[in-house]
Chains A and B, each alone.
Chain A
Amino acid sequence: MKFTEEHEWLLVEGDLVVVGITNHAAEQLGDIVFVELPEEGREVTKDEEVVVIESVKAASDILAPLDGEIVEVNEPIVEEPGKINEDPEGDAWFFKMKVEDLSALDDMMDEKAYKDFIS
C-alpha cells in the first residue's frame, strides 16, 4: 500500500489502482455523513477534485492522486457514509482507476514513511 500527503492510500490490484482515505484521515474528519463519488468513466488528472466528503464538522475534497480513468466507484459508501469511519483502509475504498504509468507510485510514501509523516 502507498500513501499520499493528502492522506489517501493506493493499492495496486492487477492493472487498476484502488484509492481510499487512511485511518488517520477518517479519524481526523470525524463521523462522515455524506460522500459524492465521481462518475465511472471520467478521465481525471492528478490533483483534480474527484470526491467530496462531509463529516459532522466540515466538507473536504479528495484529489485524484494520479492521472487516469475512474473505472469503478464504491456505491455502498454513498448509501452508508459511516462505513468510511468503520473500515477506511478496507471495505470503504472510494474508487478504482486505470492508470497509464504505474511508476508514479514509486515516489509515494510506504506505510512506514506515512506513519512518520503523520506523527
Chain B
Amino acid sequence: MADDEPNELKTTVLNELHHARGAKMVGFAGYEMPVQYKLGVLKEHLQTRTQAGLFDVSHMGQVILRGPNLAEALERLVPVDVAGLAEGRQRYAFFTNDAGGIEDDLMIANRGDHLFVVVNAACKEADVARMRAALEPGGITVKLLENRALVALQGPAAEDVLAEHCPAVRDMRFMDVETLPIAGAECWVSRSGYTGEDGFEISVPNVAAVDLVKSLLTDARVEPIGLGARDSLRLEAGLCLYGQDLDPGTSPVEAGLTWAIQKVRRADGARAGGYPGADRVQREMADGPARKRVGLRPEGRAPMRAGVVLYDAEEGGAEVGAVTSGGFGPSVEGPVAMGYVSAGCAAEGTALWGELRGKRVPVRVAKLPFVPAGFKR
C-alpha cells in the first residue's frame, strides 16, 4: 500500500474539515487522509482510550447487496455463517482465494431486506468485482455506494456523546446495527469499530456528513483522530491490518481468525466448506497450521516494526518468522508488535530475538490483545 502522488489522490467529503482542523495529510490506499491532527499520534491514541475519538473512514468501501438467496450466495465467498446472521446484527468475515489465503477482511450487516458490507479501501474495487462475478449471475445486485461517508466514534465516552444526539444508541449492543436519525440525517449505525474500545461506526449521507462531524466535535469529550493513532489502537487491540497482517498467502487459521468461522461452516457443520480454499482451511483447522500469528512484546524500549526478522537464538539459530505490525503502544507504554512465527515457537512466553540494526533484541511471544477490549456485549 504505497503512498501515492498527492495529485492522484481521491478525497473524502470531510477533506476540507481535516485541513481546517490542522491535520497532516498523507496518501493512504489512494486517498488523501489525515495521519494526525494537532494533538499528535500519542495524545490522540490516549484520548480515544480515555474519552472519545472521531475517525474519518469514508475511504472504506460501503456496498449494498440485494437479491434472491443472498446469504447462501455470499457464503460461497466467505467462510462465515451469513444465513444465520440475525436482522440488525453485524459479523466479521473475510474473502478467501482458492489457495485458502485471505483476499480482504470485511464486515457484513443484515439490514433486513439487504446486506450491508464494508470492505477495505485498498481492496474495494477488487472486492466489488469479485462479488459481481459471483453474485450477479444469481440475480443479486452489488452496489458500491459513492454517496455516503463513514465515520467511527470510539472510546469509553462514545455512548454518552452519541446518546445526546440519539438516545436509542444506548440500547445497542456490540455488533448491533440500526437505522437512526442523527443530526437530521438517516444514519446507519453499528456498535463496532477497530480500536478495541466501545464505539459506533456511522454511515451518513455525504450531504449531511460535515454537519454531523462538526456537531460531534463540538462535544468537549471528542477529538478528531488520524490514521497514526488508528494504527496503534488496533495494534494494541490485537486487530489485523489487511495488507500487513493478512494477505493472499495467509490463511485464516494461520492468522488466528478461526473464531470467525462459525460451527455451521466448519468441517462437521451443516453448511461446511463451499468457499474458496476450504480444503486448506479445514486441513489446517484439523492438523494445525505451519505458522501462527502471535503477539510480541519486545524487551526494552526499541519498537520492532513490520519486517523485523525473528530468530530462536541470540546468536546463530534459525529464522522462525517476522514482524508484520509493530510500534510503540501508548497505553501499554512500551513497544508492541504482532507477527507470524513457526507453530513450534507460538506458545505464549516463548523467548525469541528480533534483529534490529544488526543486533538481536529479545522479544517474547505474548497474549493478544495487549489491552482489554471495552466492548458493550
- The one of B41, B43, B305, B357 in contact with A52, judged by C-beta atoms closer than 8 angstroms, is B357
Instruction: Report A82 CB to chain B, min CB distance, Å.
Output: 8
- Residues of chain A at interface, number, CB under 8 A: 13
A82 proximity list for chain B (CB < 8 A): 42
- Interface residues in B29-77 by Cβ distance below 8 A to A read 35-36, 40-43
The yes or no answer to A34 lying at the interface (CB within 8 A) is yes
Q: Which of A30, A36, A56, A57 contacts B302 (CB 8 A)?
A: A36
Provide the A11-46 mask, 1 if CB < 8 A to any CB of B, else 0. Answer: 000000000000000000011011010000000000
User: Which secondary structure characterizes the binding site on chain B?
Assistant: mixed
A52 to B40, CA, bound (A): 21
Q: How far is B2's CA from A46's CA once the two chains are assembled, in angstroms?
A: 33
B303 touches A33 (CB 8 A): yes
Given A30-B228, A33-B328, A34-B328 in contact, is the A56-B42 Cβ separation under 8 Å?
Answer: yes
- Closest residue of B by beta carbon distance from A79: B301
CB distance from B356 to the nearest CB of A (A): 9
A75 within 8 A of B: no
Chain B residues, CB < 8 A from A52? 302, 357
A83 CB to nearest chain B CB (Å): 13
User: For B301, what are the chain A residues with a Cβ–Cβ distance below 8 Å?
Assistant: 33-34, 78, 81
Query: Does chain B have a CB within 8 A of A110?
Result: no
The CA-CA distance from A31 to B228 in the complex, in Å, is 11
Chain B 323-357: CB-based contact to A (< 8 A → 1; otherwise 0): 00001101000010000000000000000000001
Instruction: Jot down 18 A-B pairs with beta carbons below 8 A, ordered by A.
Output: A30-B36, A30-B228, A31-B40, A31-B43, A33-B42, A33-B328, A33-B335, A34-B301, A34-B302, A34-B328, A34-B335, A36-B302, A54-B328, A56-B228, A56-B232, A57-B35, A57-B228, A81-B301
CA distance A82 to B302 in the complex (A): 14
Q: What CA separation (Å) do A82 and B40 show in the bound complex?
A: 12
| In the complex, chain A residues whose CB is within 8 Å of the CB of B303 | 33-34, 54, 59
Question: Are A54 and B42 in contact (CB-based, < 8 A)?
Answer: no
A54 to B298, CA, bound (A): 14
